[in-house]
Structure 1
Amino acid sequence: MITHEANSFSNILVNLRDLRGELRNSAREIEEHRRIPLNIIERLRGIGIFGMCFPQSWGGAGLTSIEQILVLEELARGDTATAWCAMIGCDSGIYSGFLEEKSAKEIFPHANLAVAGWIHPQGKAEIVDGGYIVTGKWRFASGSPHGDVISAGCFLYRNGNLILDDNGKPLWRVMLARPADYLFSDTWFTTGLRGSGSQDYSTQELFIPEQHAFNFSAPKRQGPLHKTPDAILRKMAGIPLGLARACLDYIYDVADDRTDRINDVKWRNSKRVQTAVANAENQLFITRNAVLTSVSTLWQALEADAAHDDITHWRVQSALSRRNAFQTARTIVSSLYDLQGGGSIYTHETPFDRALRDINTICQHAVAQEKVLQVCGDILLGGKVEDYFI
């Protein structure tokens, strides 16, 4: 049952806690069908998940980046793929802030529309009168089976020539269109995150009106979600944090029922299990607090219109703590997988097989890669912020 005033942060969390058990029970179906069931998508819409980044004036929840992290953390405690699709889908509210309001209303007539697609510029957008002719193929359209709006990153061309900015860098835009404008290919047969439906998609000579494309460096809406382009990434750490927490939840739930064969005692009384759990909790506590502290301080700096160097510093700290959340969650899940022993290998006996596959898959995302360290180190040593998404 969805509570009243579902758009408030507290009510969203209450409703998600009610949904957690249903997500866990649906995990097998989600994996096997390789998409989120429509009944769960409609539950997410009703709770206000896809509208949580829209301002309240649009009928959205207007959540801060910290609140978004906590929402995704709660979702990931139920199902990682559902949380991933929610993380992508709610970017609709962020994208709308880079469009003129009239154009944003054309694309997003209400605040509960989910976006899907890849913003990395892989396509070609030829500039023509009134807009662009777009051709290309993209990957990783998470949530595409239920997406209402599809995003596609494109390099800009004029008369067949790539357009460069004053620094010699290619210009690019994110194009927004309807799913019917693209051809989707069911390529999503993966190690983990199988339920996200992250299909490939393509189009040939699609006309996109100029007002339906945007540039992350030119926001039209004020506020911390639009002052810097990293807002779409800030919330991502909630997913590995929630997944690690779900694995610990399971250990606590079965601690009285399982026997540690090495010592022939219940898990709850096993020194080996006690040590493993304490170590995992310590790692998760430190990692989670680094995420929340860095993102909260960055949000405050953006709200206060702080000096550029201060904002850059906390963007770097946010990026580093986010990467660490992914990598530490992988360490925690792996350690609990080993703690479980032989039972971990069975697909449906425990959550650990799926959890290990999911965490390894999401750790292939760019935010979890070693390049993040190099880019952040460059900035810390005096370099400029040249990567949009740290």
Structure 2
Amino acid sequence: MADVLDRVIDRARGMRELVRAEAAESERLRTLSPRIVEAMWASGLMSSFNPVAAGGVEPSFSEMIDTWIEMAWQDGSFGWIGIANLPSTFAAASYLPDEGFAEVFTKNDNHVTIGGQYFPNGQGTAVDGGYRLTGAWNFGSGTGHSAYIGAGFFPMDDGEMRWVSEGIPDMRVAFLPRAEVIFTDGWHVQGLKGTGSYDYNVTDVFVPDCRTIPLFTRDAVRGNSPAGRMGLMPVTAAGHASFALGVAKSMLDDVEELAATKVRMSDMATLASRQTFQKGLAHHVAAWRAARLLVLDAFGVAESAVESGEELTPRLRADMRLAAVYATDTARAAAEWAHLAAGTTAIREGSRLERAFRDIYTGTQHAFIGEKVAMDVAQIWLGLIDDQFGL
């Protein structure tokens, strides 16, 4: 697997100089700059997480995690695109029926980027051959350069919600050609400005059933990696953890470099010579390393279980989600410390520290790694509930 690791991570590492040079332009455009998007395609990074049939290399979770950390270390918006477009395209390529896969991927020589919002903010009236879809979605990450847009919805039969089990409604994701979607933008935000996370809507648009997938499916139609048999939720959780870890590492690295020369008013001693700085750096770097190892362990254990044919139990899913929450909390604390330690250097517009601080506090507002997840996990551990289907 080392060759896969090198191929995937090296595709990201090779973009360091370009991403740094284009970061301000992406923020100005409020979507990833065309030069970065083109380079992602030229390097093969854009399709790398896909099944082989869709132009990918089917990396392991450890390879995905370290690639995402690298991307977020370079720039928060670039990292967020990595955890938005790459999993979205992976899901469509893995789970679409053959007819839908042929339309979306094969017809386009696998040169397809997908972004959007998978939460079911729409309703799809069941009709012959598919659904009539109406809905409005916010925060469609990566839609600024996506050829197809993902849109979560509730299937409706004769005006009634469809249920898959007691208390759990059916939820699906439709993949819509860009031309069929109305974008209303709305992406005027504090951080992650370069992600093109636009609002969008559709009204009574027909979507064939072959261009939809169940939101929580783990039945991969193509691909041999365990990730395809684990579903979109673990991949999404790994992405959120990696994003936070990557941005925090960029701030820890930058403040460590700054410490050799940085002095504060009324104190000519450098940051590096201050014992309080030394203690803080040691603590947060160690905490960061521990959080990364926890993420690798939780996702690696679950991946190995699935690869050996075992069930992806609620406990395994809970452990992965909690690792993502813990890594996010640890990364946020490290970022806050680095921002304070850097002083006025961290507030100057255009600096990596300033942009990273805005990015991590924007990205970690996401409900996917919120406190309710930790409470759901604890309830499973305590035996108060058997499962939480959203984990």
TM-score (ref. length: structure 1): 0.92
Quote the Cα distance in structure 2 between the aligned partners of 1:218 and 1:347. 44
Q: How many residues align?
A: 380
- Which whole-Å CA distance do the structure 2 matches of 1:324 and 1:263 have between them? 36
Q: What is aligned with 1:71?
A: 67
The reply on whether 1:93 has 2:97 as its aligned counterpart is no
Counterpart selection for 1:295 from 299, 302, 315: 299
More deviation, 46-55/257-266: 257-266
Give the one of 101, 106, 116 matched to 2:103: 106
Contact 1:53 1:94 in 2 (8 A): no
Alpha-carbon spacing, 1:15–1:210, altered in 2? closer, same or farther (3 Å): closer
Change (3 A) 1:165 1:59: closer
Task: For residues 102-121 of structure 1, give each alpha carbon's deviation from its aligned partner in whole angstroms, at most 9, with x where no partner exists.
Answer: 32121122444211111100
1:318-354 CA distances to partner (integer Å, 9 max, x unpaired)? 1111011111111111111111113322212x32222
* 1:41-61 CA distance string (max 9 Å, x none): 011112222212222344312
Partner residue in 1 for 2:40: 44
Q: What letter matches 2:186 in structure 1?
A: T
SS in 1 for 2:112: coil
Residue identity matched to 1:152: A
**Letter paired with 2:192:** L
| Contact 1:99 1:219 (8 Å CA) reproduced | no
CA–CA distance in 1 between the matches of 2:50 and 2:14? 23
Distance 1:261 1:274, change over 3 A: farther
How big is the shift at 1:17? Answer: 2.1
Describe the superposition over 1:117-151 as per-residue Cα deviations: whole angstroms up to 9, x where unpaired. 11100101000001100011011111111012111
- 1:198 corresponds to which residue? 197
Q: Which moved more, 1:36-45 or 1:159-168?
A: 159-168
Note the C-alpha offset of 1:260: 4.5
Describe the shift of the 1:260–1:134 C-alpha distance in structure 2 as closer, same or farther (beyond 3 A).
same
- Mean CA deviation greater in 12-21 or 58-67: 12-21
User: Which structure is higher in helix share?
Assistant: 2
Residue of structure 2 in register with 1:360 after alignment: 361
Over the matched positions of the two proteins, sequence identity in percent amounts to 26
Stretches of structure 1 that go unaligned for 5 or more consecutive residues are 1-6
Instruction: Give the aligned residue type for 1:385.
Output: D
What secondary structure, in the 3-state scheme, does the structure 2 residue paired with 1:77 have? helix
Task: Answer whether contact 1:174 1:214 (CA < 8 A) is retained.
Answer: yes
Which piece of structure 1 moves more, 84-93 or 252-261?
A: 252-261
Q: Return closer, same or farther for 1:307/1:168 CA change in 2, 3 Å cut-off.
A: closer
State the match for 1:327 in structure 2: 329
* Alpha-carbon separation, structure 2, partners of 1:254 and 1:218: 46
Q: Identify if the C-alpha distance between structure 1 residues 259 and 305 changes in structure 2 by more than 3 Å, giving closer, same or farther.
A: same
Distance 1:263 1:43, change over 3 A: same
Conservation of the 8 A alpha-carbon contact between 2:68 and 2:242: yes
Structure 2 residue identity aligned to 1:361: T
CA distance in 2, matches of 1:99, 1:107: 9
Q: Is the 8 A contact 2:298 2:320 kept in 1?
A: yes
2:23 to 22, 27, 31: 27
Pick which of 149-158 and 379-388 moved more.
Answer: 379-388
Q: 1:225 aligns with which of 224, 227, 239?
A: 227
Once superposed, what is the RMSD of the aligned Cα atoms? Answer: 1.9
2:229 maps to a residue whose letter is K
Deviations for 1:208-256, whole angstroms, at most 9, x for unmatched residues? 0011111133624364223232233123311111111111221233233
The reply on whether 1:9 has 2:10 as its aligned counterpart is no
Match of 1:153 in 2: 152
8 Å contact from structure 1 (residues 260, 270) kept in 2? no
Structure 2 residues not aligned, in runs of 5+: none
- Rounded Cα–Cα distance in structure 1 between residues aligned with 2:295 and 2:324: 6
